[in-house]
Amino acid sequence: QTLASAVRFTTPELAELEAKLSKADDQALAVELELFDKLSQMILEQAEKITTAARAIAALDVAGSFAELARLYDYRRPDLCENTTFDIKGGRHPVVERALKQVDEQFIANDASLSPGENLRLLTGPNMAGKSTYLRQNALIVLLAQMGGYVPAQSATIGIVDKLFSRVGAADDLARGRSTFMVEMIETATILNQATDKSFVILDEIGRGTATFDGLSIAWGVLEYLHDVVKCRAVFATHYHELTSLAAKLENLNCYTMRVKEWQDSIVFLHEVIAGQADRSYGIHVAELAGLPKAVTARANQVLKALEEGEQGAATTKLAEDLPLFQTTLEEAKPARPHPLVEKMNKINPDTLTPRQALEILYDLKAQEE
């Protein structure tokens, strides 16, 4: 065969070899499929034994992992029963505890008793004191116990929980046109409609997403409904200190608070849960820790004092008329002008001075101070 730039030659033997090579791929694929079919058939014949072995290995793997976790982090085997007992001694949050260990800090363990007759716990205390951590750790202990694991506690006796409900955190649903408060109310409604007396419920700051009195009223109603209708084990964290008055009315409601210590015009969070109720929220202290300008926190203290001394409506009106006071607060918060000698020192670059120049400056500064 003559081409533009070459001539091609062939022989019958080469043509035969080409045909064999083209068939080889198809033959190899056919052999491979045949072998695969035979292997699949052999496996299917042993499927029951393989499945049984896989399940046994998986069970050993999970049990071994639980045992290793318990050995490394001092977890204990919980006692599960059929009643509605819930008694945790020295409970800890598994994730927070691990995080604190990485920075050489110790997690503060807390007890929890939600047994019959005291199945509803109202928890008050300032932000950053550990309320949400306490709620979550008890829910996680329930989850770990009922999945067959050891729990981060000294001891745990838990009545079987049929449903575990959590209303914690804040999030909106913009795609469905739901505000943060709407999402909170939908989730709370789900809990109240589906929980039974064998359920475990944690609720954090119900009603915070709306006006103060509306939120307090909703939280009040939810607390009473949990006590009178649902009768489940629940921990209810709130900043509405008014709810603590329900302890005198609801026999199964117990008030607890996060321990806080005041020291040198600041607060120390001890992260301990104790019986009682919080007398202050310390919100302004937390705002200072977060770095809010002093003008803001100073004005907040003035507003808080006015609200606490008088009726809220009248106090708010007076504060609105007294807005120029904020300018005074701003002036008080402005840093004082530095001393003239300090200003002069700040302008000096020591790297560019000769020893004689430095000595002259020192004599000059001493003379000005005198």
Q: Are 113 and 92 in contact (CB under 8 A)?
A: no
Most confident of 134-143, 203-212, 234-243: 134-143
| pLDDT at residue 16 greater than cutoff 90 | no
Of the two residues 274 and 176, the one the predictor is more confident about is: 274
Q: Are 201 and 191 in contact (CB under 8 A)?
A: yes
Of the two residues 357 and 50, the one the predictor is more confident about is: 50
Instruction: Report which of 152, 161, 159 is spatially closest to residue 69, judged by C-alpha positions.
Output: 152
Cα 328 to chain centroid distance, Å, stands at 39
196 contacts: CB under 8 Å, gap ≥ 6: 162, 163, 230, 232
pLDDT band (50, 70, 90) for residue 310: low
pLDDT band (50, 70, 90) for residue 325: very low
- Burial level of 171, CB count in 10 A (0-12/13-18/19+)? exposed
Say which range, 56-65, 235-244, 351-360, has the weakest mean pLDDT: 351-360
Q: What pLDDT does 316 receive?
A: 43
Q: What pLDDT does 335 receive?
A: 54
User: φ, ψ for residue 167 (rounded to 5)?
Assistant: -125, 85
pLDDT band (50, 70, 90) for residue 183: confident
Structural tokens at position 289? 């820790």
Q: How many CB atoms lie within 10 A of CB 326?
A: 16
Amino acid residing at 297 = T
Q: What pLDDT does 4 receive?
A: 85
| pLDDT at residue 12 greater than cutoff 50 | yes
User: φ, ψ for residue 165 (rounded to 5)?
Assistant: -115, 145
| pLDDT at residue 201 greater than cutoff 90 | yes
For range 158-185, the mean pLDDT: 83
Strands 200-204 and 164-167, sheet pairing: parallel
Q: What pLDDT does 364 receive?
A: 81
Q: Are 94 and 152 in contact (CB under 8 A)?
A: yes
Q: What pLDDT does 175 receive?
A: 66
pLDDT, tens only, 232-270: 999 999 988 889 999 989 999 999 999 888 777 777 888
Query: Rounded to an integer, what distance in angstroms lies between the CA atom of residue 213 and that of residue 182?
Result: 17
pLDDT band (50, 70, 90) for residue 19: confident
For range 28-56, the mean pLDDT: 94
- Report if pTM > 0.85: no
Strands 200-204 and 233-237, sheet pairing: parallel
Query: Rounded to an integer, what distance in angstroms lies between the CA atom of residue 314 and that of residue 306?
Result: 10
3-class DSSP assignment, residue 94: helix
Identify the bridge partners of residue 113 per DSSP, sorted by sequence position.
87
| pLDDT at residue 140 greater than cutoff 90 | yes
Instruction: Output DSSP code: residue 7.
Output: B
Identify the bridge partners of residue 151 per DSSP, sorted by sequence position.
76
Instruction: Report which of 12, 31, 9 is spatially closest to residue 20, judged by C-alpha positions.
Output: 12
What integer best gives the mean pLDDT of the chain? 85
For range 112-134, the mean pLDDT: 90
